[in-house]
Structure 1
Amino acid sequence: DRDIAMVFQSYALYPHMDVSSNMGFSLMLKKAEKTTIDSRVGAAAKRLGLDSYLGRLPRQLSGGQRQRVAMGRAIVRDPKVFLFDEPLSNLDAKLRVHMRAEIKALHQQLKTTSVYVTHDQVEAMTMADRIVVMHDGYVQQVGRPLELYDRPANTFVAGFIGSPGMNFLPAKVAKGGKVDAVLADGQKLRLPDGLPLKDGDALTIGLRPEHIKLVDDGALKAEVEVVEPLGLSTQFYVRLANQQICVFVMGRSNVRPGDIIRLAADPAALHLFDPKSGSRIE
């Protein structure tokens, strides 16, 4: 009645019906003409690459094909709004990446409003025009993906958006010639100018792994605990200020566990938060 189509997490296909009947079922309930049903099902199947599977039962399909059938069932309705309830969570990692691209391409073709629920922030970042981040039933922030990445409203959004996740370091403000943050182990980190900070204020510093640089003579000294070579890039887990943080660098590295390395971070890349409320300090 509301002209809304739902794509379920569990596919919810009728096991005794073939692909064609599953996709056209909602139109059958509306008592649409058979020619209309066949036309819409055929068009949706072609768009989703299901032409040769229309006579098969769901049990004869792979997980990705079943998910496409569930999407096709929604598409034939030509609804005003699509609702997606974590539609890719039952798929393996490789298929999830493939289907993510398919759904985004489909949305660009159909140009129909879609509300997509996911716990996977990579899905949210790569697919959304706008993201609504929720926590405990409350909206934390609304904005375009890169807006949330660049200016998270609080520590929850900051920790949720971005992969690998943001590092958080407790610190205190030390005002001298320039404003520094003193970390738990006494090391200092330069802070951006112009912030409403007083000497001795407590802070939570957010620092994305990709914004930390390995340098020969940096302000911060850390011990390498884990090295994860990824080919195109390298990910380190290091001990800094009495806690483990992640460092992400492009390319390959000769660094090994146990090495002492020097790190640097551009003050403009730091995110500062109130340790009590978690809110961003502007």
Structure 2
Amino acid sequence: MVFQSYALYPHMDVSKNMGFSLLLKKAEKTTIDARVDGAAKRLGLDTFLQRLPRQLSGGQRQRVAMGRAIVRDPKVFLFDEPLSNLDAKLRVHMRAEIKALHQQLKTTSVYVTHDQIEAMTMADRIVVMHDGLIQQVGAPLDLYDRPANMFVAGFIGSPGMNFLPAIVCKGGTPEAVLTDGQALRLPEGLPLTDGDAITVGLRPEHIKLADEGALKGEVGVVEPLGLSTQFYVKLASQQLCVFAMGRAGVKPGDEVRLVVEPDQLHLFDPKSGDRIG
């Protein structure tokens, strides 16, 4: 197990911390040394073996904790939010290191995290839990493309999904009518009847600026990120988050039109939160 708080012995150097479990199992010294050296080289710790934990950075301490698990040659690794104590830049670096390590060792790893980016980038399969109950199990992109309910939809994706209450109108073309009277075209063939209350989910990256669009709103906050732009549009008494690549060319107070393809809408039952269709 690799703990969130590292759980290293402060009076032992890196070498002794990594080999202590083998010492308790009364393994031969040559075996302990060989496994510690092998794990240290794999983790880039071979020049730090004589240092105490207080002489290491947070990322190095976490690698020592991982090395302590590796030397035991386990059938399963258990990671308990191992990156939450690290700063943002180091988290990105360690995330890549742990994934590379997993690809080398091919050992089953159960990784607990509240960070959906960690889950999406590192997992082969994600188990999303809420209040102790499993909500959905699947590959990262399966959960992104077809979330089972609003909880999963809101958890997977960064920035998070927008949710808008609406009423189904099945005149000629089925539409979702929002609280301000604006409407979004719905996909054909869904199990909906006229007048049904639904919740429409819109991923920020699927909302596009257009000269003519189904939705009209006023830009509030604009967050330029360099590679992309994130901004918020007041729509149906809510703030709709929109994510655009590049320089979107919008500023607070602008009136914009937005378009979303029907097949990129996510529809949910507002009472149960379950996916429709």
Partner of 1:208: 203
Secondary structure in structure 2 of the residue aligned to 1:53: coil
Partner of 1:226: 221
Partner of 1:167: 162
Secondary structure in structure 2 of the residue aligned to 1:7: coil
**Which of residues 224, 245, 269 is equivalent to 1:250?**
245
Structure 1 position 253, deviation (Å):
2.2
Partner of 2:123: 128
Paired letter, 2:247? R
Secondary structure in structure 1 of the residue aligned to 2:77: strand
Partner of 2:148: 153
Partner of 2:29: 34
Structure 1 position 196, deviation (Å):
0.8
**Which of residues 4, 7, 21 is equivalent to 2:2?**
7
Does residue 104 of structure 2 align to residue 116 of structure 1? no
Does residue 53 of structure 2 align to residue 45 of structure 1? no
Paired letter, 1:49? G
Quick one: distance in 2 between partners of 1:101 and 1:235?
26
Quick one: distance in 2 between partners of 1:115 and 1:220?
43
Partner of 2:236: 241
**Which of residues 76, 82, 90 is equivalent to 2:77?**
82
Partner of 1:260: 255
Quick one: distance in 2 between partners of 1:270 and 1:75?
44
Secondary structure in structure 1 of the residue aligned to 2:239: strand
Quick one: distance in 2 between partners of 1:255 and 1:79?
53
Aligned residues: 277
Structure 1 position 219, deviation (Å):
1.2
Partner of 1:191: 186
Partner of 1:3: none
Does residue 52 of structure 2 align to residue 57 of structure 1? yes
The runs of 4+ residues in structure 1 deviating greater than 3 Å are none
Quick one: distance in 2 between partners of 1:154 and 1:253?
31
Structure 1 position 141, deviation (Å):
0.3
Paired letter, 1:253? A
Does residue 267 of structure 2 align to residue 272 of structure 1? yes
Structure 1 position 175, deviation (Å):
1.1
Quick one: distance in 1 between partners of 2:112 and 2:200?
30
TM-score, with length taken from structure 2:
0.99
Does residue 98 of structure 2 align to residue 103 of structure 1? yes
Note the residue ranges of structure 1 that are not aligned, 5 or more in a row: 1-5
Paired letter, 1:180? E
**Which of residues 20, 23, 37 is equivalent to 2:15?**
20
Quick one: distance in 2 between partners of 1:141 and 1:218?
34
Deviations 1:54-74 (A, max 9, x none): 000000000000000000000
Root-mean-square deviation (CA, aligned residues, Å) is 0.4
Residues 156-165 or 236-245, more deviating: 236-245
Q: Please show how residues 60-75 of structure 1 align to structure 2 within 5 Å.
A: 60-75=55-70
Deviations 1:85-116 (A, max 9, x none): 00000000000000000000000000000000
Secondary structure in structure 2 of the residue aligned to 1:217: coil
Paired letter, 2:195? G
Percent identity for Structure 1 against Structure 2: 84
Paired letter, 1:190? R
Structure 1 position 245, deviation (Å):
1.3
Secondary structure in structure 1 of the residue aligned to 2:47: helix
